Structure 1
């Protein structure tokens, strides 16, 4: 298994844990958070559909974060003091949050569209 794919699997394991914790605490299930589970299973089992599901999931993440970003920009234009990200009572600064989201998305795109990953996922298991 390529090292970059192992990095993606470990990242998705963290996403899965966070998604399951969120689903249990909020008692709500959605594709944006729990969509990582079929992607993770597909990659680990090297199924024929795993590459497609991985790219669709990354596309969904990009659309979701773009929508949140555009909404934040519009809200910032109207009332800048109200645009905050507060998690468990802690105010998270926007710049580090934005940079980390972009880095995580770029990392996923780099891994998903690399030839090494494509070759690994399309090669038949023996």
Structure 2
């Protein structure tokens, strides 16, 4: 397994979810990637995206700081979390009606990320 590449892919997948974990109130200043702009409406984070954003970053941090190779038991746990059915990353889909048009593109990116993570984990 290419551990470094797997960890990078976990972080990349978490970054894909960042627009859906942001929270701000109408009238407050928010960072748009290059400047602070006034928010025109209140935005609450998607709780499922937030949970997965946190989990992906935590798994990446833990794997990155451990001094030994990823064990088979760890791989089994991660495999279950990523593709084990209800509540897994494979089960995460963003609601286009609630999240806006970028959620459709994000859902496509997530599908590609899930495939890449699976390949790296099982390869």
| TM-score (norm: length of structure 2) | 0.47
| TM-score (norm: length of structure 1) | 0.46
Higher-helix-fraction structure:
1
